[in-house]
Amino acid sequence: MTANYTGDSIYAASSDTEDHTVNKNSSTTTITSVDPEPSRAYQSYTVYVTVSGSRGTPTGSVTIEDGDGENCIADLLNGEGACDLTSTIHGDKILTATYSSDGTYAASSDTQDHTVEETPNRDGYEEDGTCAQAKLISPEEQQMRNILPEGESDWVMFILSEPGNVTLETSGPNGDTVMYLYESDCTTQIEQDDDDGADSFSLITRGGLEAGTYYVEIIS
């Protein structure tokens, strides 16, 4: 900041300079809720945040961390935001929401307790709940899986190096599956089966498949 005196017929011109810092307005970040509370490992939960300013409404985004390396970013609209976070490690978490300064408002943060419960019945092939997460199965290979709890879905992929026939089968001590066979686009269904296997398990026998990649979804 500079003050200049231009001088007159008696006094010479002079000036003075003084440092002046324009402080950023303060901001207050608050985690308003977490849904669901508690959540389960590998299940996403939504974290809601607000950021208020000493005057006006801060803009920008808030990063929310679960303390175990997972995070999500909530973009602010009218000082509010939310994002979906997925914790892979169960336990008691301290969520940290950090608002980074937008140039006008200073940074601020908040913490909130959140419990992530263990997800039972996971098998060694999870996460495989989408076609993109499908795990490879080789000819003659058996994979030990859980299709639990109800609504769980496991995706498997296999590759035919030449045209051929396939048999796909589920079995187990107890349970009830439904199986879907898809083309390489993950969406064009070739066949589905509910109970053609033993008990309520599934069996698909299909001839004349061309060489290529195929996907199978198994649900309970």
Interface contacts to Ca ion, rule CB under 5 A: 123, 126, 128-129, 145-146, 154, 176, 194-195, 200
Which residues are paired to 169 by β-bridges? Answer: 203
* Rounded Cα–Cα distance for residues 175 and 180 (Å): 17
How far from 183 is each of 138, 180, 188, CA to CA, in Å? 17, 10, 5
Q: Which is nearer to Ca ion, 122 or 206 (CB)?
A: 122
> Between residues 71 and 133, which has the closer beta carbon with respect to Ca ion?
133
Evaluated on CA atoms 136, 141, 144, 150, the torsion sign reads: positive
Q: How far is the CB of 147 from Ca ion (least distance, A)?
A: 6
Cβ closer to Ca ion: 8 or 150?
150
Distances (CA, A) of 128 to 122, 131, 154: 10, 7, 5
Q: How far is the CB of 148 from Ca ion (least distance, A)?
A: 7
Q: What number of H helices and E strands is found in the chain?
A: 0, 17
Q: How far is the CB of 203 from Ca ion (least distance, A)?
A: 10
In the complex, minimum distance from the CB of residue 79 to Ca ion, in angstroms, rounded to a whole number: 38
Least CB distance to Ca ion at residue 199 (A): 8
With respect to Ca ion, which residue has the nearer C-beta, 67 or 129? 129
Contact assessment for residue 216 and residue 206, using Cβ atoms and an 8 Å cutoff: no
> CB-wise, 106 or 203, nearer to Ca ion?
203
**How many C-beta atoms lie closer than 10 Å to residue 168's C-beta?**
21
In the complex, what is the shortest distance from the CB of residue 123 to Ca ion, in angstroms, rounded to a whole number? 5
Q: Give me the residue label for tokens 């299709």.
A: 147
d(CA 100, CA 140): 54
Give 117 or 195: the residue with its C-beta nearer to Ca ion.
195
Q: Are 58 and 77 in contact (CB under 8 A)?
A: no
